[in-house]
Amino acid sequence: MVVVTGATGHVGRPLVTELAAAGARVRAITRTPRCADFPPGVETVCSAAAALPGASAVFLNSRALGQSLADAVARCVAAGVTKLVALSAINVDDDFSRQPSRFRGDRNAEVEQLAVDSGLAWVSLRPTMFATNFSGMWSAQIRAGDVVTGPYAAASNAPIAESDVSAVAARALLTDHLVGQKIGLTGPHALTNVELVQTIGAVLNRPLQYREIPPDEARRRFTTVGFTAEFGEAYLAMLASTVGEPAPVTHNVAKILDRPAITFAQWVSQHRDVFTNPIERRSRHG
């Protein structure tokens, strides 16, 4: 039995599907079990305590587990779980002031260390920024016009498709090939913010442009849309550290899965509706 925490998240949901397709018995933890739309045969529960009896491997999502993270790992040990796969991040070793996800509930350093110290077999996955983050940041601007504004045009990233993270997580949960490794996961190419927007434009056949705004304006924008000031500062610091230096590309996805990692252009093509103007969508369907 494989237990997935954060089962309705960007990685958790495709991971549940991947595991079920591989024939694994899956128990998914979700706050709303009756509303979850999982493949047939997937068990749904609302707590780690209910999920762990009979489990052999557990996928740990620190944001989903929140304050119960350490308790959940202790429960895994007590329940006889033999393997933990932790969802960490590629920048886990950076100063916390450059880890914006911490201010949204991720505890990447803690979940990795708890897994390592558990005495169980462990794998830590360290993905870079998810491709879906760019839809969250830019889709409204792209639906409204052809200019995307944001800080640090030359900042670099190698965004990874969430489905690639889930595919590697499934391999880690179902085999022992990756045990004891901290695995950096990136997309196949490092792209600046300018190049990321140009890639979206090429897929949508639109002349999109990225226009840099001052950091102070970006700070104000973050707080206006509901992010904390601490998140904004950390995000800007993370971006600033990559200006003029290509983001690391690991190629571990291809090595582990024996297939190329999904490119950002492919991800945009798969999710083009996120960026499409609603008026244009309506016109296509009459």
Q: Pairing mode, if any, of strands 156-157 and 191-192?
A: antiparallel
Query: Residue 48 above 60 pLDDT?
Result: yes
Domain-located, residue 174: yes
pLDDT at position 37 is 84
Q: What is the mean pLDDT of residues 217-223?
A: 92
Domain-located, residue 163: yes
Query: Residue 283 above 80 pLDDT?
Result: no
pLDDT at position 32 is 74
Q: Are 172 and 21 in contact (CB under 8 A)?
A: no
Domain-located, residue 282: no
Query: Residue 33 above 80 pLDDT?
Result: no
Q: What is the mean pLDDT of residues 185-198?
A: 98
pLDDT at position 216 is 94
Please give the Cα distance from 37 to 44 (Å, whole number): 10
Alpha helices in the chain (DSSP H): 12-21, 48-51, 62-65, 69-79, 108-117, 132-144, 162-174, 193-204, 215-224, 229-240, 252-257, 264-270, 272-275, 278-284
Q: At 115, is the secondary structure helix, strand, or coil?
A: helix
Domain-located, residue 283: no
Q: CATH code at 126?
A: 3.40.50.720
Summarised one tens digit per residue, pLDDT across range 142-160 is 999 999 999 999 999 999 9
Number of domains in the chain: 1
pLDDT at position 45 is 93
Residue that is written with structure tokens 């991971």 in the block:
15
What is the residue range of 177's domain? 2-276
Q: What is the mean pLDDT of residues 19-46?
A: 89
pLDDT at position 279 is 44
Please give the Cα distance from 193 to 149 (Å, whole number): 10
53 vs 282, higher pLDDT: 53
261: its two tokens? 């990692």
pLDDT at position 268 is 98
Bridge partners of 182, per DSSP, are: 124
Summarised one tens digit per residue, pLDDT across range 250-279 is 999 999 999 999 999 999 999 999 998 564
Domain-located, residue 58: yes
Residue that is written with structure tokens 């200006």 in the block:
243
Summarised one tens digit per residue, pLDDT across range 88-136 is 999 999 999 999 999 999 999 999 999 999 999 999 999 999 999 999 8
Pick from 158, 115, 111, 105: nearest CA to 134: 158
Domain-located, residue 231: yes
Q: At 212, is the secondary structure helix, strand, or coil?
A: strand
Q: What angle do CA 57, 61, 191 make, to 5 degrees?
A: 115
Q: Give the mean pLDDT of the chain.
A: 93
User: Is the pTM here over 0.85, yes or no?
Assistant: yes
Query: Residue 280 above 60 pLDDT?
Result: no
Domain-located, residue 68: yes
Summarised one tens digit per residue, pLDDT across range 58-94 is 999 999 999 999 999 999 999 999 999 999 999 999 9
- Encode 131-195 in three state secondary structure: CHHHHHHHHHHHHHCCEEEECCCCCEECCECHHHHHHHHHHHHHCCCCCCCEEEECCCCCEEHHH
Domain-located, residue 281: no
Please give the Cα distance from 224 to 245 (Å, whole number): 30
